[in-house]
Amino acid sequence: MKNNNKKKGSTAKKLMPAAMMLAVSASMLGTSTYAWFTMNKEVRVTGMEVKTQVGDSLLIATSSAGTGKAADSLFQNGLNQAVYGLLNPVSTINGSDGSFYYTYDANADGSKSADTGVIPYTAVGASDSFTFDSTTYKAYIDYVFEIKAINTGATDQYLNLTGLNLLYDGQQLSDEHAYRVAIFSQDLATPGGDAYVASTTGSAASKIFAPTGFTYFNSTAVSATDAKAAVSPTVNDTAGWSKQIAANSTDYTKITVRLWLEGEDNTCYSEKFSEKLDEWTLDLKFNLEANANNAVKLIGSTQNATANASSKVAALSIGTESAASYQWYKCAEGGATNNDTAVSGETSDTLTATTAGKYYCVITTAKGTQFRTNSITVTGA
């Protein structure tokens, strides 16, 4: 009996540390699920396709590095570009070359950890790739194209970015806040010439876009030192991206669309991106319009619309855009977004559900930007 008690006591002593370790592990798992991206070096996306459409009086051509203009015969009505690379979350101040930083060691507020001597912010360098643990990652992916705008009118018009929608496998997204898109543009050195004015190394983007709901730690991004700097230009500037085109003129613009995962967006979590491969699509659209204020202000297909408990979509708050159509979707079991199904006949701002489940609405504006509401649960239908 004595020996049995001893054995039981010994077993209990062994179980206590194990239980404590299990509790600690569970706690770490719970917190790491929503961890700051840069604390998980395995978060990455391998590719992204960009589809760019242009409206009337506009033509588009693929382009590459350098200053030469594409031949007129290469301009067309639409363009699909697929560029692949291993993306890892990084942070930037202005989207320019040499301004991307990988966070090696930092506190939750973005400051350097006082307990170690590790450099918190390491610059990626002048190129768009860097090596970590013998693996080459991209800090960002660039898509480069040229737009030919033909203004035959007697008044000035505006080349506007009127669509910027993020999709995964053809479906709208709800909480991928970490994506950032920077827009760089170059003009011809001389009207009618064949060379663009080269961007200087380190020049900042003209605009930076994010999905609604994005958030930086303390509204800032990293710098090369322990301190942090404000992001400039302002993310989701209310002016959008727009360029004035003179009356009775033909204008050429070279545009670089730079895409990255923002490592300091604390509204994101690693599991959302850990298995995303080549099914991402960024849909862009440019139009020639009379009003510069028609440019979009942010990346669409995000949760900046809400549906209430009575299954009605609340009013959109997206600047100059207004809802043109609605389509309700029923969520697939298990959360596989690409298996969500459109509900036949449910094309108004109010859902009449016939079966229980989770639903959301995709709203398309008059300019083609798409927005998804939060998911709502219908019971007892």
By CB neighbour count within 10 A (0-12 exposed, 13-18 middle, 19+ buried), where does 89 fall? buried
Q: What is residue 38's predicted lDDT score, i.e. its pLDDT?
A: 44
Asked if residue 66 has pLDDT above 70, the reply is yes
Q: Which residues of 285-295 are buried (b: 16+ CB within 10 A; e: fewer)?
A: bbbbbeebebb
3-class DSSP state of 54: strand
How far apart (Å, rounded) are the C-alpha atoms in residues 370 and 124? 34
| Domain range annotation of the chain | 36-294, 323-378
DSSP annotation string for 343-357? PTT--SSB---SS-E
Asked if residue 271 has pLDDT above 90, the reply is no
DSSP H helices in the chain: 2-32
Q: What value does the mean pLDDT of the chain take? A: 75
Q: What is the pLDDT of residues 286-317, one digit of tens each?
A: 999 998 888 888 887 544 456 666 677 766 65
Q: What is residue 185's predicted lDDT score, i.e. its pLDDT?
A: 92
Q: What pTM value is reported for the model? A: 0.71
Higher pLDDT, 333 or 296: 296
Q: What is the pLDDT of residues 37-51, one digit of tens each?
A: 544 445 556 667 788
Please state the rounded mean pLDDT for residues 148-174.
82
Higher pLDDT, 166 or 346: 346
By CB neighbour count within 10 A (0-12 exposed, 13-18 middle, 19+ buried), where does 329 fall? buried
3-state helix, strand, coil in the chain (%, to 5): 15, 40, 45
Please state the rounded mean pLDDT for residues 130-159.
86
How far apart (Å, rounded) are the C-alpha atoms in residues 82 and 148? 21
pLDDT tier for residue 187 given thresholds of 50, 70 and 90: very high
Asked if residue 32 has pLDDT above 80, the reply is no
pLDDT tier for residue 230 given thresholds of 50, 70 and 90: confident
Structure tokens at 35: 């961890």
Structure tokens at 51: 């589809």
Please state the rounded mean pLDDT for residues 239-243.
92
Higher pLDDT, 182 or 368: 182
Higher pLDDT, 259 or 105: 259
Q: 270 phi and psi, to 5 degrees?
A: -65, -35
Question: Which are the contacts of 347, defined by CB distance < 8 A and separation ≥ 6?
Answer: 325, 326, 327, 328
pLDDT exceeding 90 applies to what percent of the chain? 19
Lowest-confidence segment of 61-75, 150-164, 273-287 by average pLDDT? 273-287
Sign of CA dihedral 166, 168, 173, 178: negative
Higher pLDDT, 165 or 274: 165
How many CA atoms lie less than 13 Å away from 317 in the CB half-sphere? 7
Residue 284's identity, in one-letter code, is: L
Between the alpha carbon of residue 18 and those of residues 14, 238, 245, the distances in Å are 7, 54, 70
Q: What is the pLDDT of residues 245-257, one digit of tens each?
A: 999 999 999 999 9
Structure tokens at 66: 């350098």
pLDDT tier for residue 320 given thresholds of 50, 70 and 90: low
Candidates 281, 303, 321; CA nearest to 160 is 321
